[in-house]
């Protein structure tokens, strides 16, 4: 496999721990502890994925992410110390591929790395997505040729997630899309719509979860992972 994962982390113990877990998983870890050194390293080593801590000496993760995105689509997983921060980061639309909150288990990080890498170079696999057909005019969705019988809200939610496949949205962001008139709804409303959507889809596609929960963050549609 020999894929390099660049670990941008200023806590030496944590960087070492991540490096050892990623190494055991077959990746080549490369660590850097100062924000200023990241860009030159990315250009030089062209890693397969970057684990990017938010708070760093020299330059912060947000600026680094923006600067990398100006020249590269390399997958980026942002690491933050506060769960509340993730909503704000999502709002900035940095183009990161996933978000992880500290404290995390190194195993979880390895799992996320695998998922993101599989998604980013897995585009040649059987497209489950092609089995899903959305008719925007009559709010009708069919999966494997069978009508999913969605409500309008469920259709809008699914259609938005599919159009932005692979990207993670918070409940608040989804609510803004589904209820643009700012009707007062609890963010649990989104959870219940998602639950119904999944139920309807799982009848026809029991082995593939297409709408994924991202713990502490929100949801995404992904037919690859």
Q: Are strands 169-170 and 49-53 parallel, antiparallel or unpaired?
A: unpaired
Helix 171-178 to helix 83-91 angle (10° resolution) is: 40
Count of residues touching Ca ion (by CB under 5 A): 3
Q: Which of residues 54-83 bind Ca ion (CB under 5 A)?
A: 55
Q: Which of 69, 57, 68 is nearest to 33 (CA)?
A: 57
Q: Which CB atom, from 15 or from 201, has the smaller least distance to Ca ion?
A: 15
Considering only residues 83 through 122, tell me which ones interact with Ca ion, judged by CB under 5 A.
Answer: none
Determine the Cα–Cα distance for residues 168 and 174; give it in Å rounded to an integer: 10
Which listed range, 4-12, 28-36, 107-115, 184-192, lies at the site for Ca ion (CB under 5 A)?
4-12
Token pair for 83:
């769960």
SS3 145: coil
Among 3, 10, 37, 67, binds Ca ion (CB under 5 A): 10
Q: Is 53 a residue that touches Ca ion (CB under 5 A)?
A: yes
Q: Does 38 bind Ca ion (CB under 5 A)?
A: no
In the complex, the smallest distance separating the C-beta of residue 125 from Ca ion, rounded to whole angstroms, is 36
Neighbours of 129 (CB within 10 A): 14
Minimum gap (Å) between residue 77 Cβ and Ca ion: 14
DSSP state of 144: T
Q: Which stretch binds Ca ion (CB under 5 A): 2-10, 33-41, 163-171, 201-209?
A: 2-10
Which chain residues interact with Ca ion by CB under 5 A?
10, 53, 55
């Amino acid at each position: 496999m020999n894929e390099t994962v660049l670990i941008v982390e200023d806590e030496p113990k944590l960087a070492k721990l991540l490096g050892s877990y990623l190494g055991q998983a077959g990746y080549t870890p490369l660590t850097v502890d100062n924000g200023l050194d990241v860009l030159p390293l990315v250009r030089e080593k062209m890693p397969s994925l970057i684990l990017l801590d938010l708070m760093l000496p020299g330059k912060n993760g947000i600026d680094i992410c923006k600067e990398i995105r100006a020249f590269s689509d390399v997958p980026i997983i942002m690491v933050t110390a506060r769960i509340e921060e993730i909503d704000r980061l999502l709002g900035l639309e940095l183009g990161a591929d996933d978000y992880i909150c500290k404290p995390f288990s190194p195993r979880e990080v390895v799992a996320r790395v695998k998922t993101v890498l599989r998604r980013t170079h897995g585009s040649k696999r059987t497209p489950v997505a092609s089995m899903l057909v959305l008719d925007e005019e009559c709010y009708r969705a069919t999966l494997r040729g069978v009508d999913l019988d969605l409500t309008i809200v469920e259709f809008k939610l699914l259609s938005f997630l599919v159009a932005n496949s692979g990207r993670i949205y918070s409940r608040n962001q989804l609510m803004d899309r589904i209820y643009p008139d700012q009707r007062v709804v609890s963010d649990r409303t989104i959870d219940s719509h998602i639950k119904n959507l999944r139920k309807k889809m799982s009848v026809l596609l029991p082995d593939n979860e297409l709408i994924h929960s991202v713990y502490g963050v929100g949801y995404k549609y992904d037919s690859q992972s």
